[in-house]
Structure 1
């Protein structure tokens, strides 16, 4: 990255599993972790969250192995995904945690609402 020495460092905290996945992805792409993170952010900001190959290879029909995959418990799906794409598996786990938290918050809000006198 040209002029990188003139850019102020930026501290970033991330879960170990994401750090490891980014480290592996950087190694696979022949980049430093910093360059990989910058690339991921650039792609996301430009609307290219996934490499074009992900989009062009997207299935239009669900085959038997996909049906088998999605019929498995979520944790088993994530274990299999981790073997193929550790970063995506880490993102899926984070998304699942946020979804669960949101559902818990919604249930709590409904309970609180139902307790209030009308």
Structure 2
């Protein structure tokens, strides 16, 4: 079973603000708030955006960037040339070893302990 779900780790992200963000970006997926960073910690993510893939036994298989669209802060490519999250999902679904974790480029998650 595959479940995609954006996680909002900000302690100040209200339900109203999350709904507006989802509307602004056309997200149709359910979203979760994680103000205590329980999911963030389990997924070992440190920046947004960053992704994690777990298996059916809740074992972390991949965490890191979604793709290489951003090379650095404010420096985006015309299009991504690698797709680490998609590769990790496909590997997990086919029983193969996901790619190694790749650090994300983004803002550090505030108050991450």
TM interval, short-chain normalised: under 0.3
Higher share in helix: 1
For the pair shown, the structure with the greater C-alpha radius of gyration is 1
Tell me the TM-score normalised to structure 2 length: 0.23
Higher share in strand: 2
